[in-house]
Structure 1
């Protein structure tokens, strides 16, 4: 925070009125900011009424208003405006550039992470393991809140009916989040991302953030398709986003574009055209049988690292239970129950089930006799879940493991991260070999090089269903794999009967792979053909990879493909075989309904039937909100409450949704010239307003053209940011921008004058003290204090500054690189210009060549610091990206050796 100016700084304002001076000192950062608070007598009168209207009589207010206006006019007659004074005084003021606070503990961990010593590496792992466990619910809550607030921003700027009601009721983020119902964070993210390009197109084309009618939506699709071909899901995604915003925004049904039949029918035509002209949907490639065969052995062999074994166990669960990566991360580890019947677990929440949805918890099953290698992978994997390193309480199943697979991270691993970890597992799988009727592992990798990139996170989900289809299992039986549709009913009869079907299908697949099938069994020829082509494209030995994966062998006698051996593949008592056998022919009570459908993009609000089974968006009243109604002759209608002016202004001075203070300060540090940040800080511009203004104005010269006059600045703030001087808080914010603009204008004018004069005289433009102070402040904030011995001199900075501005950068002689400590005084010389006038200018001093290695090291450090300071001013220059004095110091140490 900037220190409050004392009353002595207010140029006799207490003489006008003591109470007025006290109120002004509370609200205004400095006299230069107060100088922009009013323009005429009427403005002065309004300001006094706002500040003292309740404390003074009407006659006193009138007297003080007149005295305030006379005080201002008298100051302007005596000298220049406060903005001009500030432009000259900035170098003598302490520099206060805000920077995000640095966490010393985080810095320590970063330093530790870069230390190669073994002892420190062990300490780092121990620190990570001791951290508190991350929660899947916390990650989901954060994602949901982030994208919901982004959608709220769209609703507010479109001024939908819901915005005014929420403003009148406090505009709480907690209340806003509730009106989005039980939608998932990913759903809200997809809606926000689909709406963003359409909103940008609307702003550029019509200057409004909301479509006026369905015609604008269709025009957007036509124009976008003309530039680049639309994806097949673009129309549906846009329609879903529009429907969600209209539903949550409480747009009346007759005014909704998403229910316009013209738009609905046109989107159907768009979808049909894009689907017919686009490429066919390509399913994820299946895993070969060798992959999940060797995973069973990896799980059961303690010689492998814990992470490798547990990830292999996760892959097997996904394979036999037909689970997505997101599904498996929603398994409650404490719900796993292993019995002689098999493994049973609960999916707390999936894409279409969970709390607040029609489908509640889902039960999943794997038969106890499932296995191909002869190893009891279900039993060994179940022990891993309760292993010491994995026994902490969590609400997700598989954690992330280190590169060495030995240490689990306690933070939540999302579905994308799990898919990458599964790919990493495939790269480490050994090759399975059969020796004397027993499956073992060889040292060679099953998928060498980048072959593992052939498969995706969805590959394992399709294995069981694809195998069942290839082996002739009917669709109504296959549909139970991975969907568990009947577990939703809650009745124990439904759950047990569904388990019979699922385990019956799993055992049938397993038996056919081991002992074959009368119809020839399962063949992988098509998969191997695709794998061979992919491997050869990577310059790998495709034939060798296919040979390693060819675990199914053709039996001429039985005319079938099989692994060989007996089913079950490991020793199980006959009573357990019967208990785990299942029954594919079991009849489920009631008709079959598939509740595990993918989310339909166009379902958002497009249906008006109100049917219980149809996914319909309904307006949800936030908890604890009392809606306002008015009685009319026709019944009850809702009343629109006028949005308070102060709420709009607070939005303009606050940071936008999704941008925190650290992100805003990082934006100012990386993208905005240090001169402009310096001026904003001195004039007391709120951080949120700094962020909004600098999205388009990143330099002093450009900001000086924001408007032509002080009145135009006020108009621009009202039009661009809905910021108007309605009370003292908003008046202070407006005044800060006015004073900053006036200072920037004076600064830019003076800089242009100096540059023109320097060019006319044929000398370098002297670097202004404002520039030097700002660049030094930026350097010290990023790299620490700067000693005089290593700080470049003003004349050297002027020379380099001119080279950059002219686009003619050249290498300097070592004698020209001077520091502030060596060049404390500047020479003076006289010149005669073309007009015959004698001018006195500063003479460019020249240093001496370094005499030994340490002087050369110092010169190189001064050179590096000079370019680093200049990088803070010219942030848009590509060659200044990631400029740091560390690179120059490393070069000096390489050249001259460590000091």
Structure 2
């Protein structure tokens, strides 16, 4: 192809060859003599007009004479393009590297990488994810509190720094305190540290004046009644662990103690009395049992209904539910036995390593075998993967689950969504059934109940039926530590089963004692009236107990559920009792980032910003409203892989989707919303 250049002046031809890589490029640069004239003027503005016209005429003649040869070259290039990749500036690239270069610089590939990375994050979550999250949070607040002690220069600092491994020494300094305990202590201390540094120029108090002046400011600003005591406890923790001499500890100064007691009394006098969690009504329990049986409902709604019923009859909190070890759960003719691992009062570092929760096999208000049906759901393939918690995140439509840990606060929100979708139970022909589209808790009344409401039901009814405080202590596992582990397991199951069957019988047929839920109904109706709903309508939907049988009850025959030996109940299998394996932490790859100049930024297609606080890496397109020059850490790149970023900027994702011709997905609402639920029906009067 080198012999196909036009016959021009050597100096002029050399300049043209520097601009056009081949004669084919030069031939395609103009179409007629006027275009050629303008091209030469733009390239060589210093040439005289005669030289320009002569060169233009020669180029046009050369273009016409070489047209057939150029046509063959173009056809040949097109035919080869079907079977080969475009040539790269780096001739040493092989086929694999060429493909990688193309794929990593495509927006379609970047979107797919982000989607697969998110899916892999859910799929690859380790079995002991809950324990790891707790350990990570504990280590975080241990280091934060240790930093407070270091800044204060307390006597313990020199001792810990003299250890061979000071970082481990600071972590072990806080002994077996829970992550939530350390978190609360740090959050109580941090505002004081900021105030003291701003007003006194130091980070640790040196006299009672510092702490009294600070707390007086908080009291004048209408702080909560627990603020003075919480701050005092945090101060005492730092002084005790920091080895401050006892006679110099401000937290034990009589002046300070007197102020704390006085402040607490003053604030408590002006605040509303503390109310226990609102109790579920019997109609809600009936609706939950029927929902577990209803195969038309999404599978996660049925599974979550089972969890709420277990919380009611086993007196569990949301935090207790997420401490259940599913692989240790056992279902037999006696009922359900759940093993709770690390909770607030149990764990490897506590006297009581683990504790049990029990539900009797025949507990049912409607005659539905909700315990067995729900257990089969949780033993199905989608729900029975290895983990150290019970409830996982649901999919958007609640037709399946994601293998991801659900925090207790989010579980409480999901339960409220479930309650807001419950339909009215109706007694037809001696059998309980779910009504039409009418909701049991319309107009947002599910917000009347909290995450502790399920735990409050059984203990409250048991107190009404006359069970002593010592017996009721077994329901919420408050009596652990009073007996040995083996004795507790044997005794607690008998006591719990006795209370559960008595409560069940009382509600079903009114024997041996009657239970009246007037207070629960009055409280719910009052909440409905305050929210603008009709309280009489709410009372009518929840008033399922009557006196037609001569006693205040559901009017059914106890027991409503009879289990025969040949019904296929699962027996306890000791082989299923295995310990959760301890997995080694995966090594995290550190990404070295460096800032680059404006020239490099203009030539890059993507850039990745890195959060200083969390290290989160977010991918952006060049031209995003986020400017690389305004970010602390930035990595510029023309191609990316799945390991180069954690998420994509929302604005840049929309731009990528638009460039690839796809439809933008609709924004999904948070799972914590309680205003709507998949499959929720409109309320009809």
TM-score normalized by the length of structure 2: 0.66
1:308 aligns with 2:287: no
The aligned residue for residue 17 of structure 2 is none
Greater helix content:
1
Match of 2:558 among 567, 573, 579: 567
Q: Structure 1 residues 270, 484: CA separation in 2 closer, same or farther (over 3 Å shift)?
A: closer
1:297 aligns with 2:290: yes
Q: Structure 1 residues 164, 248: CA separation in 2 closer, same or farther (over 3 Å shift)?
A: same
The aligned residue for residue 473 of structure 2 is 479
d(CA) in 1 for partners of 2:433, 2:453: 24
The aligned residue for residue 148 of structure 1 is 142
Q: How does 1:316-331 map to 2 (within 5 A)?
A: 316-331=309-324
Q: Structure 1 residues 567, 575: CA separation in 2 closer, same or farther (over 3 Å shift)?
A: farther
Contact 2:505–2:512 at 8 Å: present in 1 too?
no
The aligned residue for residue 384 of structure 2 is 391
Q: Structure 1 residues 428, 124: CA separation in 2 closer, same or farther (over 3 Å shift)?
A: farther
d(CA) in 1 for partners of 2:404, 2:423: 29
1:506 aligns with 2:500: yes
Aligned CA-pair RMSD:
3.8
1:416 aligns with 2:409: yes
Q: Structure 1 residues 774, 262: CA separation in 2 closer, same or farther (over 3 Å shift)?
A: farther
Q: Structure 1 residues 346, 156: CA separation in 2 closer, same or farther (over 3 Å shift)?
A: same
1:359 aligns with 2:374: no
1:2-40 superposed Cα distances (whole Å, 9 cap, x missing partner): xxxxxxxxxxxxxxxxxxxxxxxxxxxxxxxxxxxxxxx
The aligned residue for residue 5 of structure 2 is none
Q: What SS does the corresponding residue of 2:337 show, helix, strand or coil?
A: strand
Q: Give how far 1:140 is off.
A: 0.3
Q: Structure 1 residues 482, 108: CA separation in 2 closer, same or farther (over 3 Å shift)?
A: farther
1:761-800 superposed Cα distances (whole Å, 9 cap, x missing partner): xxxxxxxxxxx879979997475456xxxxxxxxxxxxxx
Q: Give how far 1:129 is off.
A: 6.1
Contact 2:508–2:555 at 8 Å: present in 1 too?
yes
Match of 1:255 among 248, 255, 263: 248
d(CA) in 2 for partners of 1:423, 1:257: 44
Q: Structure 1 residues 488, 366: CA separation in 2 closer, same or farther (over 3 Å shift)?
A: farther
The aligned residue for residue 287 of structure 1 is 280
The aligned residue for residue 201 of structure 1 is 195
Aligned residues: 505
1:221 aligns with 2:219: no
d(CA) in 2 for partners of 1:224, 1:147: 24
Contact 1:554–1:562 at 8 Å: present in 2 too?
yes
d(CA) in 1 for partners of 2:359, 2:652: 60
Q: What SS does the corresponding residue of 2:206 show, helix, strand or coil?
A: coil
The aligned residue for residue 152 of structure 2 is 158
Contact 1:194–1:237 at 8 Å: present in 2 too?
yes
Q: Structure 1 residues 365, 293: CA separation in 2 closer, same or farther (over 3 Å shift)?
A: same
Q: Structure 1 residues 468, 263: CA separation in 2 closer, same or farther (over 3 Å shift)?
A: same
Q: Structure 1 residues 529, 292: CA separation in 2 closer, same or farther (over 3 Å shift)?
A: same
d(CA) in 1 for partners of 2:492, 2:418: 32
Q: Structure 1 residues 405, 109: CA separation in 2 closer, same or farther (over 3 Å shift)?
A: farther
Contact 2:352–2:480 at 8 Å: present in 1 too?
no
Q: Which structure 1 segments of 5+ residues have no match?
A: 1-103, 115-119, 577-659, 666-676, 683-771, 787-864, 874-881, 893-899
Q: Give how far 1:277 is off.
A: 2.5
Contact 1:246–1:256 at 8 Å: present in 2 too?
yes
d(CA) in 1 for partners of 2:491, 2:601: 74
d(CA) in 1 for partners of 2:184, 2:382: 36
1:377 aligns with 2:359: no
Q: Structure 1 residues 475, 869: CA separation in 2 closer, same or farther (over 3 Å shift)?
A: closer
Q: What SS does the corresponding residue of 2:547 show, helix, strand or coil?
A: strand
1:333 aligns with 2:329: no
1:551 aligns with 2:544: yes
Contact 1:310–1:381 at 8 Å: present in 2 too?
yes
1:276-333 superposed Cα distances (whole Å, 9 cap, x missing partner): 2321102221111111222122223333222112211111111111111111111111
Q: Which structure 2 segments of 5+ residues have no match?
A: 1-103, 568-588, 609-619, 632-648, 660-685
Match of 1:453 among 447, 455, 460: 447
d(CA) in 2 for partners of 1:247, 1:230: 26
Match of 1:368 among 345, 357, 361: 361
The aligned residue for residue 231 of structure 1 is 224
Q: What SS does the corresponding residue of 1:483 show, helix, strand or coil?
A: coil
d(CA) in 2 for partners of 1:355, 1:295: 35
Q: What SS does the corresponding residue of 1:286 show, helix, strand or coil?
A: coil
Q: Structure 1 residues 127, 223: CA separation in 2 closer, same or farther (over 3 Å shift)?
A: closer
TM-score normalized by the length of structure 1: 0.51
